Amino acid sequence: MESLYIIIPAYNEEENIRKVAVEWHEVVEKVGNNSKLVIINDGSKDSTLKKLNELKTEMPNLIILDKENGGHGDTVLYGYKYALDNNADYIFQTDSDGQTLPEEFWNFWEERKSYKAIIGYRKNREDGISRIIVTKTLKLIIFIIFHLRVTDANTPFRLMDRDTLKKYYEMIPEHFNLPNVILSVLLIYNKEKVEFKEITFRPRQGGVNSINLRKITKIGIKTIKDFRDINKKLKNRKEKR
């Protein structure tokens, strides 16, 4: 039986975590007993971890990982490594803020064998104009540096098979801020069979977003440098072939 590991990073999500965990645990239960919901507590300062531990007795397929705070990207990579180390056949990643809908997962799962990766496309974002601007800016930066058009590079709603994730995970720098972005870039750059599917993307369902303009600017500056370094490595690798 195929196994699915759903990876969800969580930081200060005490208002959302129970509902999110319950909904996504139902998904892994339907897929099969060898599938897991992996929620990684990224050093939360509120009661996120406490609420997760309270859920453990109710949810046999829930895995709780606790780590020091390292940011969203670092935590996503931590979860991906856990899934790969535990031989997951398929890995799905989403976030803990309740913006995505578990019922839309099944359209992805039904087509899992047709693509190397299926990535959500946020055509109508409902989480504010500032986020839309960030997404459009990121799309432009990717085009300028990599000369690639990527529909929606950073969507936290993506399904990948084990071999594909393992292949490109190893190319991502340790503690990289935007691993899903560079994964999307690598998939498109290497002409993998990728499908972008439109998804619903609601406003945050509770709590406060931990990313502010100052953090976004700092991450953006470092990301541009990292993108240039990765692009240089890709070009060197291509020339050696």
Q: What is the mean pLDDT of residues 64-83?
A: 97
- Of 62-71, 80-89, 106-115, 232-241, the one with minimum mean pLDDT is 232-241
- What is the pLDDT at residue 101? 96
Is residue 50 very low, low, confident or very high in pLDDT (cuts 50, 70, 90)?
A: very high
In total, how many domains does the chain have? 1
Domain span including residue 128: 4-240
- The encoded tokens of residue 64 equal 């709780």
We report the CATH number of the domain holding residue 101 as 3.90.550.10
- Of 15-19, 155-159, 185-189, 218-222, the one with minimum mean pLDDT is 218-222
Q: What is the pTM of this model?
A: 0.91
Residues 210/11, Cβ–Cβ less than 8 Å: yes
Q: What is the mean pLDDT of residues 60-67?
A: 98
Cβ-based burial of 135 (10 A; exposed 0-12, middle 13-18, buried ≥19): middle
Residues 188/117, Cβ–Cβ less than 8 Å: no
Assign 74 to helix, strand or coil. Answer: helix
Mean pLDDT, the chain, integer: 91
- Segment (H or E) for 103: none
Rounded to the nearest 10 degrees, what angle do helices 213-240 and 179-189 cross at? 30
- Among residues 183, 202, 198, the alpha carbon closest in space to that of 93 is found at 183
